[in-house]
Amino acid sequence: TKEEETKEEETKEEETKEEKNEEEETVEIKNEEEKTEEETEEKEVEGEKANSKNPKHLGWNSHQAVEKAPDSLVREGDGPEGNYPMRSKFEKMCREGQMAITKAIEEIDGEAKFREDAWVRATGGGGMSCVLTDGNVFEKAGVNLSVVYGTMPQEALQSATERGIDRAKGMAPGERVPFFACGLSCVMHPKNPHCPTMHFNYRYF
């Protein structure tokens, strides 16, 4: 009858609507899951960029060994205007210092030689490690150069700058502050137990 046909059509329409709603809900859930996965992957990957400007904080495995370090580990033109020349100049000074120190220590030791390893990071920077072991004078000595790009919480920036200066002004709450650091670290362990261990750093932040 006509009434039965009308009821059947209404039932079909309701079923179609339910199926459509289920499909929409499934798509929404899938999109939400994909978004969550992307956010999780973004958090897990160390050394990659947190956004278009700032790399995330660095992890222990964020560097890659290379046969030879590039001529400069400083990114040309990177950072606020005027910073690149000073960064490059300080890196050059540290490299020259590293070569002079390792040469002098090898001459003093008279037996062991420094082993050199170089590494770089995808976000910029890297380093050169020079290590001497089992020498005639030194049990172990290390002279390591590093150039690092990373980010820090705004709270850390406040404690690292002089009072009354807000270098995070204009940044959004929770936004991480990019930083650059370069340094030369030296540690010497003589074989003679009566000789003190020596340690010093040159740092630019």
Token pair for 197? 């261990």
Q: Cα–Cα distance between 43 and 10 in angstroms, integer?
A: 49
Give the containing element (helix H, strand E) for 97: helix 83-109
Number of residues written out for the chain: 205
Nearest CA-CA partner of 190 in 144, 137, 143, 142 = 137
Token pair for 111? 């037996």
199 in catalytic set: yes
**Active-site entry in 63, 189, 194, 199:** 199
Nearest CA-CA partner of 113 in 92, 143, 93 = 143
Task: Show the 3-state SS of 137-175.
Answer: CEEEEEEEEEEEEEEECHHHHHHHCCCCCCCCCCCCCCC
Distance set, CA 17 to CA 3, 5, 28, 44 (Å): 21, 18, 16, 40
Residue 66 pairs in a beta bridge with 118
Please list the active-site residues: 199
